[in-house]
Structure 1
Amino acid sequence: MSPFLLKIPSLTWFAGNGTDAVSRVQKRQENHPGMICSENRANYRLLYKAGAEEELRREAAEISRLLNPPKVEVPYSTWLWSLFGCSLVVLSGILPALILPANSSEYLQTQGKFLNKCRFFLSPEAYAVFVQKEKQSESVAFVRIDIDRIGFCTLGGLLVCSFIEKLCSTTEESQHRICAIMNLCANLVDNFTHGLAVGASFLISPKFGLMTTFAILVHEIPHEVSDFAILLRADFNKIDAVKAQLVTASGGVLGAVVALYLRSGAVQSADWILPFTAGGFINIALAQILPELNRETNRKQNLRQLAMIVLGLGVMAAVNRFHVA
């Protein structure tokens, strides 16, 4: 048998089936050294084709195994932990109604909007998904910052909210109502992304999930107070405001279920939602809250506004530092 055939052990069947042809090739090579006859070239092409097909089959099987890993069932304990974390986030939606006095409606209408004025400073949270370090097993991968995508998504959220406001509002009262509805929609999406984070973190470990839930609660409670103020300003009574808060908070439960069902990949696929939602919050702060602040002429009230703005900035800075840590 020729040395050429021995170099491809996976195709030795060819030598067994074509022994006579190989013998003829060997004899011609002995009689005419250095000469490659047409039969030898044909045999070479057949061997090369068969070897390439075998290699392609192996690669296709390996790619299929990597793209379709065996499904691993999520333990019941992970589901329970995730539901527990989401329940805490949901309960934070009714916390303002429980801790604030019964006659706090007018107070919240004047003071809560100042907290909400600072709310749009949370938009860096939407950008964090593009710059945070992602820990993958023992290595650390850095996420590339897509500035254009962030900007377009944020601008898109701002323009969509502005379009809805212009299309639906005709009076000042209806404008307040539309502002409250847009804020509820933005909160629903925001809580959905929080649920994705909670579910994905509990997939890693209960400890990591509890830490993520606590971090969300730290910056979610001030949000809920300002959301409650916006609803009261839109002529919602206290009961209706609590119901609306619970509806938006339930988006977190849906997000956690999606994260557990699709595993942690759902978080990466929803990275555009955060800047889009931030754009909606910016619109609410600049188009609705800021004009009302500028109408104030009382010097004492203006100082209180400034103090609340500085306080809001300090709270957001502390929360961002906590997240980075």
Structure 2
Amino acid sequence: MEGLWGYGFLLVTIISCSSLVGVSLMPFMAKDFYKHLLTVMIGLAVGSLTGSAVFHLLPQALRLAEHDPDHEYLNISLYIVGGIWLFFMVERILKFIMDYKERKGKSWKREKMSSVLSSTPETSTIAVMTENGNLMKGPLVEANGGGGEQRNSLIFPSTPRDTGVIYECQEQAIKASFGHQEKPRLSSCHDHPVTFEQGKDSVIATVAWMIIFGDGLHNFIDGLSIGAAFNESIWTGVSISLAVLCEELPHELGDFAVLLNAGMSMRQAVTYNFLSACTCYIGMAVGILLGEIEASIYIFALAGGMFLYISLVDMVPEMNEIAQETSKVSVRKGIITLFLQNMGLFAGITALYLLAKYQDRFQF
């Protein structure tokens, strides 16, 4: 019994500190690398959460292992995950083809317009075809981008108060955490900075309480599932903890970006993130205690449904959106994004499947 509490406490601590590790590494990462890393991490979170639900939590809730000691049911579970991945890929490939045809059509229209383009050394005009077939001529203004490529800067901006770069780089993690809603921004319509006033109502206070209560409840259920899993077996607990860790890292980084963008200092953002993470310890303790009175199956069912919802409703749409945005730019960028997402997906699914398949062969 003491071993369960020790392992549970250790893994919950690792999960709670994961966001701090990510924040500490951010200043040393270039923007493009960090965005690619987040793409892999969100794919990893989707694969881990889905794999944890179909390979561990739902089979445990349905007591399938008691009637199938060889874990043959995992093969059927693998087909379920395969069906999800198959339709994800079909949708992405069809969108790639549509975006490619759209770019080709726009290129053809530009070539047609360039044929009626007339210019002189002093001025340039461009003829634009309207919807009713008429031609309109007007001045052509060329944008000068400065004559050079934009330097791939680091994640952290030069000034501590400029948090727009952090918010922009972590937009996919924020949307994956909050479900495609616009988040509070630093500036208002009058462009006044938001300040933190102790004891007074402010945008920061509202965002902070949203993070504490929303993430606190989320982390409590995560801890509940971890505690119940450790009460079942050590390897089941490790498997669920791995899935939670893969999901929590981009999730907490998204929370961190929201708090910074609302006007908090680095210290305040870390403090609020830590307060919301503390509920995971409470959930773990409750989960272990409830496991003693044979309530684990209900916890597994609840956590399995939550994991599937987070992965398929919150995170997969964000994966689709990021892949579609890059495919509109070029086929190459779209394929790179899809490849990175699949790297994370397969890594998470494979890890959780192997832990479920061979957990009986490992002894502590």
TM (norm. structure 2) is 0.47
SS of 1:272 mapped into structure 2: helix
Q: Residue 251 of structure 1: which of 274, 280, 286 is its match?
A: 280
2:249 aligns to what?
A: 225
Contact 1:118 1:312 in 2 (8 A): yes
Once the two structures are TM-superposed, the CA of residue 235 in structure 1 deviates from its matched residue by: 4.5
| Alpha-carbon distance change, 260 to 324 in structure 1, aligned in 2, over 3 angstroms | same
Mapped partners of 2:330, 2:183: distance in 1: 22
Mapped partners of 2:216, 2:317: distance in 1: 16
Once the two structures are TM-superposed, the CA of residue 256 in structure 1 deviates from its matched residue by: 3.4
| Alpha-carbon distance change, 185 to 281 in structure 1, aligned in 2, over 3 angstroms | farther
Stretches of structure 1 lacking an aligned partner (at least 5 in a row): 1-77, 151-160, 202-207
Mapped partners of 2:275, 2:290: distance in 1: 23
SS of 1:265 mapped into structure 2: coil
Question: Given the alignment of the two structures, is residue 89 of structure 1 paired with residue 11 of structure 2, yes or no?
Answer: yes
| Alpha-carbon distance change, 254 to 246 in structure 1, aligned in 2, over 3 angstroms | same
Once the two structures are TM-superposed, the CA of residue 87 in structure 1 deviates from its matched residue by: 1.8
2:204 aligns to what?
A: none
| Alpha-carbon distance change, 195 to 249 in structure 1, aligned in 2, over 3 angstroms | farther
Amino acid at match of 1:112: L
1:14 aligns to what?
A: none
Once the two structures are TM-superposed, the CA of residue 103 in structure 1 deviates from its matched residue by: 0.8
Question: Given the alignment of the two structures, is residue 112 of structure 1 paired with residue 38 of structure 2, yes or no?
Answer: yes
Q: Work out which of the two has the higher radius of gyration on C-alpha atoms and give 1 or 2.
A: 1
Once the two structures are TM-superposed, the CA of residue 197 in structure 1 deviates from its matched residue by: 1.2
Contact 2:227 2:237 in 1 (8 A): no
Contact 1:259 1:265 in 2 (8 A): no
SS of 1:270 mapped into structure 2: helix
| Alpha-carbon distance change, 307 to 97 in structure 1, aligned in 2, over 3 angstroms | farther
| Alpha-carbon distance change, 117 to 299 in structure 1, aligned in 2, over 3 angstroms | same
1:306 aligns to what?
A: 338
| Alpha-carbon distance change, 288 to 183 in structure 1, aligned in 2, over 3 angstroms | farther
Q: Residue 25 of structure 2: which of 82, 101, 126 is its match?
A: 101
Contact 1:183 1:281 in 2 (8 A): no
Q: Deviations over 1:164-202 (max 9, x none)?
A: 968xx4x4547xx8899867654442332112112x13x
Q: Deviations over 1:245-286 (max 9, x none)?
A: 663464254233343255151211223312331213322113
| Alpha-carbon distance change, 119 to 102 in structure 1, aligned in 2, over 3 angstroms | closer
Question: Given the alignment of the two structures, is residue 324 of structure 1 paired with residue 357 of structure 2, yes or no?
Answer: yes
Stretches of structure 2 lacking an aligned partner (at least 5 in a row): 81-174, 186-206, 359-364
1:131 aligns to what?
A: 59
SS of 2:27 mapped into structure 1: coil
More helix by share: 1
Mapped partners of 1:111, 1:263: distance in 2: 40
| Alpha-carbon distance change, 274 to 119 in structure 1, aligned in 2, over 3 angstroms | same
| Alpha-carbon distance change, 140 to 183 in structure 1, aligned in 2, over 3 angstroms | same
Contact 1:83 1:253 in 2 (8 A): no
Q: Deviations over 1:89-146 (max 9, x none)?
A: 222221342365241585545531442144233224223444356667x99699x99x
Please provide the CA RMSD for this pair.
4.5
1:291 aligns to what?
A: 321
Mapped partners of 1:242, 1:290: distance in 2: 33
Mapped partners of 1:113, 1:268: distance in 2: 33
Identity of aligned residues (%): 10
| Alpha-carbon distance change, 314 to 186 in structure 1, aligned in 2, over 3 angstroms | same
Amino acid at match of 1:189: I
TM (norm. structure 1) is 0.51
Contact 2:46 2:315 in 1 (8 A): yes
Mapped partners of 2:19, 2:247: distance in 1: 10
Mapped partners of 2:284, 2:347: distance in 1: 26
2:221 aligns to what?
A: 189
| Alpha-carbon distance change, 249 to 85 in structure 1, aligned in 2, over 3 angstroms | farther
Q: Deviations over 1:59-109 (max 9, x none)?
A: xxxxxxxxxxxxxxxxxxx2x333322221222221342365241585545
